[in-house]
Amino acid sequence: MPGEEPHAESTFSALATPLIDEALARVAAIHADASPESLHQLRVALRRLRSLWWAYRPMLDKEENARQRALYRYLADAAGRERDWDIFLELLAGDEDSPRDVPPCLREAREQALAASRETLINADIRNVLHSALASTSKELNAAPERHALQKFAAKRVRAAERSLRKTLRGASHAKRFDHEALRDVRKAGKKVRYLREFFGPMLDDDGHGHTLAHLEKLQQCSANSTT
């Protein structure tokens, strides 16, 4: 009916389709040239997909949703191997004031990681994987007997992501020493918040969200050089 509020279930496909198109465009770029940047962009696209499936988790079969998100994580990790090596090598090399030699064997390992990433992703049949996930998830949502107002659903899931971020922030702030993994977890939780706000932005009331995002932006700037 005209003017009827959209439902979260019927909106899923419209949200997921452009993300899948973006991921497949990145896959095509890797087939042509598996540069570090093209791999990184695919990693970002897959993380965004994983965040969307997380947002819809309460409406989906738990086991199937966990399987889909684990698959996106596996593919994103494959795409990120080279970038993780680059950060590691950069830390080993030190800065301009105190440079250090990096063993050639480590640089060779980085090249091997790049080659392995390209092989894994090219052989993964990502096109069929993503289209199958979209079809099965859309079918499940459209067959659900209950309908959820999109605005209420979006606000609830963003709040859940923000609670997770605040919990992760508290854990990182209580660390007794520099904790690389804790900072990495903070950035991952923060990215999830940002992605969900990008998905659902037009439906959200900004009250209560601005402070969290401002704090997140400052923290991400501080940890950008030490995490992926």
Positions in the chain whose pLDDT score sits under 50: 1, 225-228
Q: Tell me what pLDDT residue 226 has.
A: 44
CA angle in degrees (0–180, nearest 5) for 42-46-48? 115
* pLDDT score at 227: 42
pLDDT for 106 equals 75
The predicted model scores a pTM of 0.79
What's residue 208's pLDDT?
53
pLDDT of residue 107: 72
Helix (H, G, I), strand (E, B) or coil at 15: helix
> pLDDT tens across 60-108, in order?
999 999 988 998 988 888 887 666 666 666 666 666 655 677 677 777 7
**Which of the 8 DSSP states describes residue 7?**
B
CA distance 21 to 178: 39
Q: Residue 48 class from Cβ within 10 Å (0-12 exposed, 13-18 middle, 19+ buried)?
A: buried
